[in-house]
């Protein structure tokens, strides 16, 4: 996933550079706006990737917590079954 993110960021920055260059050379402000959109998209891709990595890092602990909760529910249900 890291490679895909790096390629995406690289292509977005390359597009932004070319659009900005063309915008300045041809005096077209809309190309500069498009270059800005590419830069903002690049930042959003990096932020989304960091959020994804953080969520993946939290998964093992969440799984352990869920397993503990299931075990406590199982013990509670087994205790009720014995008393009935």
Domain positions in the chain are 2-83
pLDDT at 20 over 90: yes
Contact 38, 12 (CB under 8 A): yes
Using CA atoms, how far apart are residues 42 and 9, in angstroms rounded to an integer? Answer: 5
Looking from the CA of 35 toward its CB, the CA atoms found within 13 Å total 15
If pLDDT is split at 50, 70 and 90, which confidence band does 81 have? low
Q: CA-CA-CA-CA torsion for 29, 35, 37, 42, nearest 10 degrees?
A: -170
Closest CA to 13 of 51, 53, 47, 41: 41
Distance CA 78, CA 60 (A): 27
Q: What is the pLDDT of residues 28-67, one digit of tens each?
A: 999 999 999 999 999 999 999 999 999 999 999 999 999 9
| pLDDT for 83 | 55
% of the chain surpassing 70 pLDDT: 93
């Amino acid at each position: 996933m890291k490679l895909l993110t790096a390629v995406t960021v690289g292509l977005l920055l390359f597009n932004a550079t070319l659009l900005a260059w063309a915008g300045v050379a041809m005096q077209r402000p809309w190309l500069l706006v498009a270059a800005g959109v590419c830069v903002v998209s690049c930042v959003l891709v990096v932020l989304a990737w960091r959020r994804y990595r953080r969520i993946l890092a939290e998964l093992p602990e969440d799984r352990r917590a869920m397993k503990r909760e299931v075990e406590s529910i199982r013990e509670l249900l087994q205790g009720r079954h014995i008393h009935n």
